[in-house]
Structure 1
Amino acid sequence: MRLFGYARVSTSQQSLDVQVKALKAEGVRANRIFTDKVTGSHVNREGLRLLRLKVEEGDVILVKKLDLLGRDTADMIQLIKEFDEMGVAIRFLDDGISTEGTMGKMVVTILSAVAQAERQRILERTNEGRVEAKAKGVKFGRKRTIDRRRVKELREEGVGATDIAKQMGIGRSTVYKLLR
């Protein structure tokens, strides 16, 4: 039995250090730790792809937390099934669960479904909050940098769109949009 590790963070600004240290503390050799700095919402990840190529029957993959392997329940089930067919088990350190045995597979499947449902609820709450904020007049997005009033003043003074664009440092099409 060989131990392998998998660590993932969602963005390149996040650090893998905590996960890698935990995997090493469990006895995973550094050259057997595979990492990704990309969202877990899909399984097309380079580190995961390499891990799939390296593991063999009897190996165990250690992952710090369940949601680091994948975010989507269908993808998680497919990954677990794929590794199971290869004779490879997955252990989730923080969650204290493993795909070893029938009960382990069932628990992992249920937990990944619950995690996906929670993410959906978070998105719904975020969107509800955004709608409510808009209704209260909160502006989203980048602040406007073009002085719309000045564009209109220049037009009223008889300045043409091309000259307005040059004076304001914007495109002529932008001038036409602002004057609508």
Structure 2
Amino acid sequence: MKQRIGYARVSTEDQHLDLQRNALQQAGCYVIYEETASGKNASRLELEQCRKALRDGDTLVVWRLDRLGRSLPDLVQIVAELERSGIGFESLTEKIETNSAAGKLVFHVFAALAEFERSLIRERTHAGLAAARARGRSGGRKPKLGDKQVREIKVLLRDPEIQVADVARRYGVSRTTLYKHVGVVAPRHP
């Protein structure tokens, strides 16, 4: 038997699920998974339980699109996975449902916009890196150790009495960072 299963989420403890719960019940959802979790949080246990409960022919219903996905690309991915499993999707507020041809069209327009957004971000990132290189800058993190510090460390490590771990602590870096920047091949033991 096909089911309409609801998913409701609020971000903080001081928010309430009542509005979402009522809307989902009115939409014919007899089973509703509820949780309090930030949309930024990748780990949403109730959403995972909800997805495990869905079967071919069922429909996942949410009150609003932003209750399901952390971002538009994330939302598109979730709905695509549902569609591959034969599960419909419906958002009550936006009046989007993927069980009809028109609903699928609207959702695929969203998917195209998400891909367009990713492409724009990628293009801006590449343009920014190219502009930085043209100004003589390179991307990435600043080195943990400056040239002067590397020279000092090399001098210190010439002394066989000085341990790599002691030097690393003194400069506030890991031994691995020292090995990388100073060229120490293997740790020395007392």
Q: Which bracket does the TM-score occupy, shorter chain normalised?
A: 0.5 to 0.7
Q: Which residue of 1 aligns with 2:125?
A: 126
Question: Pairwise CA RMSD of aligned residues?
Answer: 4.5
Give the alignment partner of residue 6 of structure 2, picking from 4, 15, 18: 4
Tell me what 2:83 maps to. Answer: 80
Q: Percent identity?
A: 16
Q: Give the TM-score normalised by structure 1.
A: 0.58
Give 1:65 deviation, angstroms: 1.7
The 8 Å contact of residues 61 and 92 in structure 2, kept in 1 or not, is answered as no
TM-score by length of 2: 0.56
Correspondence 1:1-180 to 2 at 5 A: 2=4, 4-5=6-7, 7=9, 15=11, 23-24=20-21, 26-28=23-25, 32-34=32-34, 37-38=41-42, 46-55=45-54, 60-62=60-62, 64-65=64-65, 68=69, 71=73, 76-84=79-87, 89-136=88-135, 137=137, 140-141=140-141, 144=144, 146=145, 148-153=147-152, 155=154, 159-160=158-159, 163=162, 165=164, 168-169=167-168, 171=175, 174=178, 177-178=181-182
Task: Provide the secondary structure at the position in 2 that maps to 1:51.
Answer: helix
Q: Distance in 1 between matches of 2:16 and 2:99?
A: 22
Deviations 1:84-142 (A, max 9, x none): 4xxxx422245332224221122212321321221232233134324433543376425
The count of residues paired between Structure 1 and Structure 2 equals 164
**Please, which runs of 5 or more residues in structure 2 have no aligned partner?**
169-173, 185-190
Quick one: distance in 2 between partners of 1:131 and 1:20? 47
Partner secondary structure for residue 69 of structure 2: helix
Q: Answer yes or no: is the 8 Å Cα contact 2:21–2:32 preserved in 1.
A: no
Unmatched segments (≥5 aa) in structure 1? 9-14, 40-44
Q: 1:141 to 1:161 in 2, by over 3 A?
A: farther
Q: Cα gap change, 1:19/1:54 in structure 2, threshold over 3 Å: closer, same or farther? A: farther
Counterparts of 2:156 and 2:95 in 1: how far apart (Å)? 73
